[in-house]
Structure 1
Amino acid sequence: MNSKIAVVTLIALISVSCNREKNIEISSESFTEKELSMCENSKCPEVTINYVEVFGDDEISEKINAKIKNFIFSSLIMGEDTIPTAKTIQEAASGFINAYNADKAQFPDMAGEYFAEISVNEIYRSKEHLCFEMRQYLFTGGAHGYGTTSFMNIDPETGEELTSKELFKKIKEFTVFAEKKFRDKQKIAEEQGINDTKFWFENDAFYLPESVGFTQDSLIFIYNQYDIASYADGPIELKIAIKEAEPFLNID
Structure 2
Amino acid sequence: MKKYGTFILSLIIITLYSCNNSTTSTGTGKENKAEAAIEQPNDTAFFANDTILLDSYVPDSPKLTANVALKNIVLNNNAATEKAIAEISYILTGEESKSITEAGNRYIAKLKTDYMELRPEYINIRESNDMPHWLNQEFMVSSECSNGYKGFVNYTINFFEYTGGAHPNSYCTTLTFDPNDGHEVTIGEIMKPGYEEPLIELITQSIISFLNVEDVAELDEVIFDHKELYISKNVVMGKDNLTFIYNKYDIAPYAVGEIIAEIPYEKLQDILKQEYR
Place the TM-score, normalised by the shorter chain, in its bin: 0.7 to 0.9
> Where does residue 30 of structure 1 map in the other structure?
46
Higher relative contact order structure (alpha carbons within 8 Å, sequence separation ≥ 6): 2
Please report how far the alpha carbon of residue 35 of structure 1 lies from its aligned counterpart in structure 2 after TM superposition.
10
Residue 91 (structure 2) pairs with residue 66 (structure 1): no
1:197 is aligned to 2:213: no
SS in 2 for 1:228: coil
Larger Rg over CA atoms: 2
**Matches of 2:133 and 2:80, distance apart in 1:** 45
- What is aligned with 1:46? 65
Q: What amino acid is the match of 1:29?
A: A
- Distance in structure 2 (CA, Å) of the matches to 1:21 and 1:185: 32
Identity %: 18
State the 1:62 CA deviation. 0.6
SS class of match (1:106): helix
Q: Which amino acid aligns with 1:100?
A: Y
Give me the TM-score of the superposition, normalised by structure 2: 0.67
CA contact (8 A) 2:207 2:259 kept: no
After superposition, the CA RMSD in angstroms is 3.8
1:148 paired to 2:174: no
CA contact (8 A) 1:127 1:156 kept: no
- For 2:206 and 2:109, the matched residues in 1 are separated by 44
Deviation at 1:194, TM superposition (A): 4.9
Alpha carbons 1:46, 1:116 under 8 Å: kept? yes
SS in 2 for 1:30: strand
The amino acid across from 1:72 in the alignment is: L
Q: How does 1:140-179 map to 2 (within 5 A)?
A: 140-169=163-192, 170-179=195-204
Q: Distance in 2 between matches of 1:59 and 1:219?
A: 27
| Unaligned runs of at least 5 residues, structure 1 | 14-19, 74-83
The counterpart of 1:225, out of the listed 243, 248, 251, is 248
For the residue of structure 2 that corresponds to 1:54, the secondary structure is coil
Structure 2: distance between partners of 1:90 and 1:225: 27
Residue-pair matches, total: 229
Counterparts of 1:73-152 in structure 2 under 5 Å? Answer: 73=93, 84-85=94-95, 88=102, 89-107=104-122, 108=126, 109-111=131-133, 113-125=136-148, 128-152=151-175
Q: Which amino acid aligns with 1:31?
A: F
1:219 is paired with a residue whose SS is strand
Contact 1:52–1:121 (Cα < 8 Å) also in 2 = yes
Question: CA 1:213–1:86 in structure 2 vs 1: closer, same or farther (change >3 Å)?
Answer: closer
- Provide the TM-score with structure 1 as the length reference: 0.73
